[in-house]
Amino acid sequence: MKFRVERDALADAVAWTAKSLPSRPSVPVLAGVLLRVADGRLQVSSFDYEVSSQVTVEVQADADGATLVSGRLLAEITKSLPAKPVDVAAVGSHVEITCGSARFTLPTMPVEDYPSLPEMPESAGAVDAALFAKAVSQVAVAAGRDDTLPMLTGVRIELEGTKLTLLATDRYRLAVRELMWHPDEPDMSVAALVPARTLDDTAKTLGPLGGNVSVALSRGKLGDGMIGFAGGSRRTTSRLLEGDFPKVRALLPDTHNAQARVPVAALNEVVRRVGLVAERQTPVRLSFSADGLVVEASGSEDARASEAMDCQYEGEPMTIAFNHQYLLDGLKALDAPIAVLSFTDPKKPAVMSPAKDDGEIVPGYWYLIMPVRIGS
């Protein structure tokens, strides 16, 4: 195997592929990325039996072939190379990388020991890449990080006709995003539970490429199948998570007793300032009234902070407390100038929705956050 390729193209391909490599591989070859050259194209691949990633890059090929090298080391090397064409050649049990006057020789691993990458599942449809990336980022923030509850570490994708819904929860908050997509079958009705980190990383990478992201899904029982995403020259597959995702839609209230409209940027700054005195598990209190909003927090050794700000509020005066980091995560996820907070009771979940400058709610996104019990 021997080829020449532009530095940026190689570095980007290796970096994205190496990102999904396991930190503690069960066998050494799973820490490698596979470089395969054929028909003037280089395929850079990784696979750990859970997630596969593959990028295709145009190269000047002198000899076809394949080699397997340490993915993280190759990513570090290609990122640091000078901005010149890169020559890569497999020589015996090593691979030689030359860029300008820089030269690296890396040991290789047996290609025959590397597992075959899974085929892409059956196509289900396509969705706008940039819209999908934004939607995933809005929902993945609410996914759990406790591996003892694997079903909560995923994002549930529901495909119902032309509507695609993303849901995630860690039991303390819930994010729901609805958007339109282009199904291959107009009467499609299927769901999948995808690891949140894999989905978020994939969407972030495919979003800037523009165009559409192809969604492919095996139609087996939930938890037994595989999902795939492809955009541009990149494709990734992931095994679906097992377990039943909780029935969370019932948590979204149909009505509210009070509602506030607050500028997102201003509330974000106030919560960050006041939260400086709060310990990790200490909530911030939000007191709403016709006079506006007061944000308060307290910490150890009698440390306290409070700040008042303007807001539009409808309803009886109310004081409610939230984990301040969850609140900040929700404000960031709204991606809108105005946050609409809807309440039914200080002891029940509140719902945050994005709104335009005139206060009109932008439909399609809900961030539900559980309150923290506070003393009277």
Could you state, in chain order, the average pLDDT of each consecutive group of 10 residues for the chain (376 residues)? 96 93 90 96 95 96 96 96 96 95 96 93 95 97 92 95 97 97 94 94 91 86 76 94 89 93 97 89 92 92 92 96 95 96 95 95 96 77
Contact 98, 32 (CB under 8 A): no
The reported pLDDT for the residue numbered 224 is 59
The reported pLDDT for the residue numbered 335 is 93
| Entry pTM | 0.91
The reported pLDDT for the residue numbered 223 is 43
Q: Is 333 helix (H, G, I), strand (E, B) or coil?
A: helix
Helix crossing, 324-334 with 264-274: angle to 10°? 160
The reported pLDDT for the residue numbered 300 is 77
Element spanning 374, H or E: none
The reported pLDDT for the residue numbered 23 is 84
Query: CA 5, 9, 15 angle in degrees (round to 5)?
Result: 120
Euclidean distance between the first and final Cα of the chain, in Å?
72
